[in-house]
């Protein structure tokens, strides 16, 4: 096939339709060795890769507002107690959270009020917390410390 093209290219040069420089350039391109195609040169792997990246970075919908007894809620209460401003002075640690009850829940807000008995290194206290969502963040306000 390349010999046929080279013959046509030579005929064009002899008729004067292309210059000597164009002839040499085209001849060099025709005679240049071609690299064999590797397995990654096609488009077939790009579609699954694109779908995977879309799935990976697609924002996840919330799976629901956590109840008072959920581990997420317990962890937020622990952080609020141990890392809050009052804790810096008194070094409070949450040892256990017992008798957790839901006081109210508003699905439209979403917002949940809960009570529990918190066993701290400073003794037991009855606490109340408000679990609410702003934007994509889950926030908490703990009172009764």
Indicate if 138 and 90 belong to the same structural domain: yes
The secondary structure of 70-87, three-state, reads: CHHHHHHHHHHHHCCHHH
Give the residue numbers spanning the domain of 18. 1-32
Decide which of 115 and 40 is more confident: 115
User: What is the pLDDT, as a whole number, of residue 117?
Assistant: 93
Task: State what percent of residues in the chain have pLDDT above 70.
Answer: 90
Structure tokens given for 62? 């919330």
Decide which of 55 and 126 is more confident: 126
pLDDT digits (tens, 9 = 90+) for 91-145: 888 889 999 999 998 888 889 999 999 998 888 989 999 999 888 788 889 988 7
Report H helices in the chain: 2-15, 20-31, 46-57, 71-82, 85-90
Whether 9 is in a domain gets the answer: yes
Poorest-confidence range of 29-33, 61-65, 96-100? 61-65
Whether 47 is in a domain gets the answer: no
Indicate if 20 and 80 belong to the same structural domain: no
Indicate if 19 and 76 belong to the same structural domain: no
For the chain, how many structural domains are there in total?
2
Please give the model's pTM, rounded to 2 decimal places: 0.53
Indicate if 25 and 83 belong to the same structural domain: no
Whether 94 is in a domain gets the answer: yes
User: What is the pLDDT, as a whole number, of residue 62?
Assistant: 53
Indicate the average pLDDT of the chain. Answer: 84
Q: What is the layout of strands, in order, in the sheet containing 111-120?
A: 94-106, 111-120, 123-134, 137-143
Indicate if 23 and 82 belong to the same structural domain: no
116 by Cβ neighbours in 10 Å (0-12 / 13-18 / 19+) ranks as buried
| pLDDT classification of 60: cutoffs 50, 70, 90 | low
Indicate if 136 and 78 belong to the same structural domain: yes
């Amino acid at each position: 096939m390349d010999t046929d093209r080279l013959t046509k290219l030579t005929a064009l040069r002899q008729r004067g339709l292309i210059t000597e420089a164009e002839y040499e350039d085209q001849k060099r391109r025709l005679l240049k060795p071609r690299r064999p195609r590797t397995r990654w040169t096609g488009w077939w792997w790009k579609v699954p890769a694109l779908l995977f990246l879309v799935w990976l970075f697609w924002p996840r919908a919330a799976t629901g507002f956590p109840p008072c007894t959920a581990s997420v809620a317990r962890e937020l209460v622990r952080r609020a107690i141990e890392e809050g401003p009052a804790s810096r002075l008194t070094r409070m640690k949450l040892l256990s959270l017992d008798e957790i009850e839901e006081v109210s829940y508003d699905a439209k807000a979403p917002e949940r009020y809960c009570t529990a008995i918190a066993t701290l290194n400073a003794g037991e206290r009855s606490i109340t917390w408000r679990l609410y969502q702003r934007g994509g963040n889950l926030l908490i306000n703990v009172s009764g410390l």
